[in-house]
Structure 1
Amino acid sequence: MREAKRLLLSSYGVPVLASLLALLLRSLLAPLLRENAPLLVFIIPVMISAWYGGLKPGLLATAISALIGCYFFVQPVFSLDITGVANGVRIGIFLVEGVLISWLSETRRGAMQRSEAIASSLRESEESYRLLVEGVEDYAIFRLDPKGNIVTWNNGAERIKGYKAADILGQNYSILFTVEDIERHKPEQALLMAVREGHFVEDSWRRRKDGSLFWASTTITALRNESGKLCGFSNVIRDITQRKQAEEELRKLVKDLSDVKFAIDRAAILATTDERGNITNVNDKFCELSQYSREELIGQNHRLINSGYHPQEFFANLWSTIKRGDVWHGEIKNRAKDGSYYWVDTTIVPFLDDAGQPFQYLAIRFDISDRKHAQEVLHRYAQRLEALHEIDRAILRAESTKQLARAALLRLHSVVPYEQAMVVLFRFQTQEAELLTREWNGELRRETIPISDLIPIQVSLQQVSIRYIENLSTLAPCPPLLERQLAEGKRSFLSISLIAEGELIGELGVFARPVAAFTQEHQEIVTEVANQLAIATQQARLREQRQNYAAELEQRVIERTAELQEANEALEVFVYSASHDLRAPLRGIQGLAQVLLEDYGDLFDSEGQLYAQRLVLSAQEMSALLQDLLDYSRLSRAEINLQRIDLASIMTSALTQLQTELQAQKAQVRVEIPCFEVMGHRATLIQVVTNLITNAIKFVPPGVQPQVRIWAEERGVGDEEHQNVSADENMTQLQPRDENKTLLPDIRTPSRYAIPNNQVTPVAAVSANIRLWIEDNGIGIEPRHQENIFQAFERLHGVETYSGTGMGLAIVRKGVERMGGRVGVESQFGDGSRFWIELRQTTSTA
């Protein structure tokens, strides 16, 4: 009992241990095999377990190996989910192989056991013969007289037949036959045969004393004396019941094996080879698929059906695997006798001799041509879709018809095997065609040819849609372009018209060397590409026309801008000259009016003195206006060289100039400026700051003491405090206007009142800007006026309310722009204003 448990444990322990060892081996081979042949190594534990324990251990190893291989090595890994037809077929084949190997191993074990039983029976017979010589207890040996009566009876006969000597002697030996044999007179016939032939040998049923039957091997030999007279017969009977049973079981086993072979022949392609790879046997399925007869295959090797598809390294790996005694599994493309190709899923199992060396190989194959064909169709369809998608993307990227043609023809070759392709664009006005051609491995070439070189004059261009010429040599008449292709060895020609919005605009053509090289699928693909290419070409043409029109408009704008700039420059010169020339007579008027008022004021009545005072004030206002015009014009015309300026020193100079006005207005000015340096023009920046401070102390309600706060802050390039204009409707930012000067970067802040700058030429980016704020407690500015106050001569109040010329903020804007900066205002009516200017901060490399 203990021995049986031990054998049972070892029989089922071997599959588990072998499967784990196969898992370890497959893991070690993972870098080499990767995702290929995930279950190949696991056929080893199946073979070992089936060889060691038979059917059940082999099935157990098959199940364990399938689970381990599926979980660890079949995609998706670490899951028992089976995705994809290929994985399902692969696992199914593995399970079928495991069952077949287990079944064949069990059958082999049974046959060996029965063979051992037969061998044991033979050994017993040999021992019986020895005992027959020595004591003959295992054989029924007895002698008959000439009439067939028993005259001797040995111990073996007594044991086999069940009769004691006293009971059987004198009886006719027919008593040992079955009733049926006695009725057929078989005992007499056996004796007559022995007399005639010298002996009679037969295996047949015999009867014991108890009536039971057994298989007996009977040898009856006629005994004659020296004179040749019949003296009797010797009868030797051996019980061969066990042998007959073993033979019957062997016959059934052979029948079962024959049935299995029949089933495998119907399902699989089988071939056996010797150790050199020469074919020794094939089944009918092999002959049917390869189209070779068995006689043509026997003695040949598999190079006879080699398709040339696989590289030499593929078969080198195959042979190295099976020569090591390992099972090889993979997919092979073979060539049939008629030149057609077929795919087989192949498993090659080596048979090893006692020394562990392969002496024979069994190849089990399954026809997977339909699956491969389906995969190939899907692959071609995917390529077709990808090519069409690539052409779609090329339509969006292409800038010209040449780029579009190059992209389309390059991707078309991946799905249509052309030797040369061309895109033809017709120019019907000149009867010419623009020809864009590309060899399958070359670059795009461009040439112009007459349309008649491509299409015969007799053919109506408006009727052309699809032209497929399987053999150009049969075309008559043949246009010059096609004749040239024919001379270069190209036979097949396929052309699809490019039609956009009902108008023929060109053709897409492909050439190939073989006759009738393009299938119906190729024609459909070229047609789809032609339809897309027609739309894309039309769009490209429209885009080119639009670009040409835009370029023409841009040139006209440039010319008009230059004219306007010349006019503006002339106007600025006129303004400057007029302002300068008017100052001399104005000074005379102002001086005389002042003398008149001082020397002869007593002679005037009150109304006359009022007129004289108005004359003096008007002359002063006119002088201030002319000075502002000169300053504004000078800012527009003068060259400004930017340099590093200390912002604190600018504030000191500006406040010094305004000291009298500040004292007169009793203004409080608070300055909070760190040590910042900016790139600017000193005189211009002083004038800008002076104008802003002057406005801050001027535009205050009556009786209110002016309070001005001035501070500066550092801001990154592009950093804006107000990104959403709707969040602060009271902020206005002004951008530099067109200037034919080199300025700093145009750094914009989104604004409701932003003024575009199309003429600024940017320089290198800088790290930061400095924004200078000037805040007052004045009357404020309504949002609707904030955009206009920086225009020349723009006033929101009369001179009698707040004096001024309306040029102060225009000068501020012009000066800041000339220094490459920006200016803006944040204000609410009745709540003061915050004006700011922003200039580039100097750096160590500035």
Structure 2
Amino acid sequence: MLGLRSTQYGLAVLATTGAFLLRLGLDPVLGDRSPFLLFTLPILVTALSAGTRPALVAAVLGGLSGTYAFVPPNPSLRLVTPGDWLEVALFSITAALIIRVVNRRAALRAQHNQAVEELRTSEAIKAAILRGALDGIVTTTEDGRILAANPAFCRAFGFRAEDAVGRRLTDLLVVPAPSLLPGTSPERVVAALPGIRPDHRVEGEALRSDRSRFPAEIAMTFTRHQTHNQLTWFIRDVTERKAFEDALRRTTRQLTVVLENASESIFLLDEQGCCVYMNPSAESLTGFTLAEASGRSLHALIHHIGPDGSPCPEADCAIACASRGQTKRSGQEVLIRRNGDFVPVSYIASPIRDSSHAVIGAVIEIRDVTEERRRDALLDENRRQLLRQQQALETLHRLGITIAAELHPDRLVQTVVDAGVTLSGAQVGAFFYNATNDTGDHYVLYALAGAERSAFDRFGLPRATPLFGPTFRGDGVIRSSDILQDPRYGKNAPHAGMPEGHIPVRSYLSVPVASRDGNVIGALFFGHAEPDIFDEAAERAVIGLAAHAAIGLDNARLFEAVEKAKQTLEEKVRTRTQALEEINAELDAFSYTVSHDLRAPLRAVQTLASILLDDFGERLGETGRQYAERIVGAAQRMDDLVQGLLQYSRLARTDIQLQPISLRFVMEKVRQTLERNEELDDAVLDLSENLHTVYANPTILQQVLHNLVTNAIKYRHEERPARVKAWSELRNDRVVRIWIEDNGIGVAPDQLDKIFDVFYRAPGTMSRPGTGIGLAVVKKGTERMDGRCGVESRDGEGSRFWIELPTPN
């Protein structure tokens, strides 16, 4: 800034110096009379170039230079003429005018620059407003041709800005001519769109570039110029608003339908608690119409007085409190109708708040609970009856358990009669067997409750009278609220009713007790001195009790019969047991005979035949040796058969003990036995690592597994080496299945269910050694250990025998 000012003031000095030099150069020509106003040139140049202050400096310097030039150095000024002073005065005036004019010009230039800047700012703001406006804004000529359009207009109508310019806006708007917009406009556009007038909004439709329509709100304003007028249009897409208004109308219609058809009474109150709206149900409940109740206090209409005639203060009214800003309330009240009738209701009073949470009214929902209270009362009564029935059922259930467990008839029927008195509310109860006395005309009293047996001693027992007879015949239940009024009462001569001194009975209930075969065992009788004691629930309870009694008596009779049968059966069992013991003794003797007396001759025959072959074989000849060899083989087979029969017999009769035992331990013992007896030959016995522990008898299990392995080796296939695999698997946490698999000749499908039978040998195996007892021993031994066995096989492809035994668990 300081350098700029130095340059401006230097300009003033330089311009003044130039004018002074010019003055000196003109003096010879003008005769030392150059014009004094020559020094106004530096002032004008400096003012135009540097501003007011440098021009003042130039004026001062010019004045000094001019005075020096026009007034030569002379101690006395008397030689200066008046013309000289006139030029100095003119110079001063001219300098002042120049400075003033230049200063004014600078001020005007500054104002112009400020106006230009403000115009630019205004245009920028206008452009920003147009770009950001949500409404479409478009400027047109008077005849409706578009001059400019903002982005919102282009988006709404589907045009680019350059495509929109030049189009007629009137071709894109469809505006009806509403009768509520009077007045006309001189402009041609207004004439084309009669519904529009300046500064007034109307609704119509607009056409997009694809000719689709959308609802629009349209406004227009004039901008007047000296040479022409412009129109500015504001177009808003109101599709969403229209949809919202349509939804609001639908909701309003739906709400109106709901309110008009609601079964509950609905009131709308203002902040003073006065009725603003009430639906038809509310009119029906109160007896007032909406016109009559509108503007009146709802409390004063229907809640100003209680059923007892006492006033109900509005301050205590929960319904009125909702309009005063209190919280939502619900409960029950008693309201008064227009005709003075009181009606019990339930209510919900909810205050209505505006956006600032200020209470502006309340909604009251009221429901007539008269019928509901009647139903509740009936429900309570039914609930009490159900409770009594439940208690009765629980009592019957407990009695049923007790009766079912009681096998003594005397105690059983006494329990039944005591329970019947409790369940029915009777004062006295009795059970009579359906069995007559020695004379055949009186029923036998068996149990009594509520009175001493002596009270009946001096009265006769009941007979088959019109009152008692149907019960003992099983015709049905007799229940009388007052037996004295029953037409069947008093028909038994000579008493013609209850004899004098008899326990008084008015309420009467009798139920037959019938067994499952339909025969009437007896009857239950209950009585009370007051009438109307026994109701339907008491009757049902006693009927249920009679059913339990019938079951109990049947059970008691069955128990008695079972006891007799038991005694007979025990006697038969003792006789059979003795016979079996004798048979077992004979079998033991027979087994001893077979094992010793029968096997001894066989051993002798076998031994002698072997000696005959060894010592006299050459003398016997070929035929003799064959006969001797056949004798030895037959004796050996007979001995094997006897041993097998002994094994099978011992398995069936011997007591065994089961214990946890390792399958690997047993299978190793089987391998050792086979190797010791040279039964393996070239066969391979493959034991899996997966061998479990089972719950079995060690000796029998070893025999069973030995028989299965030797059976697999015995029936090997001739074309392949024998191979036997053994493994086990858990079927579940209680059963282990043991598998013995071979690659032998297999078993035909039709033979699978026969090979475990005693002495059975499959066709085609008679040439192989065996007695047909080995697999029978397997089956019997497995069953004795609480297991089972089976086989899976294909003829010619080998077999998989399995046995299942319990786990130690």
TM-score, normalised via structure 2 length: 0.46
TM-score, normalised via structure 1 length: 0.44
Larger gyration radius, structure 1 or structure 2: 2
